[in-house]
Amino acid sequence: MRFDVVTLMPAMFDALTKEGVVAKAINRQIAQIGLWNPRDYTTDLHRTVDDRPYGGGPGMVMKYQPLQQAIESAQAVSPQAKVVYLSPQGRRFDQHQAKAVAAGRQSLLLIAGRYEGVDERIIQRYVDEEWSIGDYVLSGGELAAMVVLDAVIRLLPGALGDADSAQQDSFMDGLLDCPHYTRPDEIDGLSVPSVLQGGNHDAIRRWRLQQALMRTNRRRPDLLQGRHMTVEEEKFLAEIIAASGDAEQTQEQ
Ligand code: 9D3
């Protein structure tokens, strides 16, 4: 699957492409990432990519012409790609969108802005969608583009090891994760829950589901709204809610 990014800071993407799951996916030819720098399309001596905003005010704006040529060069390679401008004004990117892009193999041409953003006419003429990754202020769109790429590429078949991919459609989908432990069974006076040390796989499954429901109910109750629940989950959640406030429960904050 092909991805393209228009960016003034292509070296930032080394962090994504040289190490980890995305690097493996690229080496296995599951994903390909093209980087397009508007500075390479400037024609003036100073290779100018920004200019002062019409109407005045602080900050600079990314100029139309170098961006346009970077976008059109990327489109010549990826004519079918959905053009996405990463911006704080965009709709929130979430796991549903990551899954939709990966499942539909929809190529993406991501535009990462710097300064105060891009000339609005780039959005009018080239951009299909604007995506934000959350309500906090970044210094540019590159980290957001990398978040999108990581979230999508790890979902592509073959990108993860078997164990991880099996977990991807886990029965605890849409819940926070349960606690994890590894050896030793006791350290600094802290022990591993005994159920995990026994061999009762259904008891372990039930404990993990209860822990996931308990954590989700406490930390992210919004995730439970509108989530389909099995009869077993409904039962466990009812027990958790009935017991919430008990001394026993206070260890799970
Ligand atoms: C402090 C500058 N702001 C003036 C009101 C506007 C502003 C411009 C450019 C704020 C952030 C940015 C750069 N951010 C992104 O390019 C960006 C972003 C983000 O900041 N938060 C969440 N998602 C994204 S996607 C792209």
- Domain positions in the chain are 2-153, 186-252
Residue pointed to by tokens 């073959």: 158
- Which residues line the pocket of ligand 1, CB cutoff 6 A? 86-88, 113, 116-117, 132-134, 136-138, 140-141, 144
Is the full-model pTM beyond 0.85? yes
Q: What is the pLDDT along the chain (253 residues), one digit of tens a residue?
A: 999 999 999 999 999 999 999 999 999 999 999 999 999 999 999 999 999 999 999 999 999 999 999 999 999 999 999 999 999 999 999 999 999 999 999 999 999 999 999 999 999 999 999 999 999 999 999 999 999 999 999 999 999 987 777 676 677 889 999 999 999 999 999 999 999 999 999 999 999 999 999 999 999 999 999 999 999 999 999 999 999 977 555 555 5
Task: Choose the catalytic residue: 162, 169, 202, 248.
Answer: 169
Task: Choose the catalytic residue: 19, 40, 72, 116.
Answer: 116
Our mutation pick for probing the ligand 1 site, out of 8, 110, 127, 138, counting the most ligand atoms within 8 A of Cβ, is 138
Q: Which CATH architecture has domain 186-252?
A: Orthogonal Bundle (1.10)
Q: How far apart are the first and last CA of the chain?
A: 41
Topology of the domain comprising 2-153: Alpha/beta knot (3.40.1280)
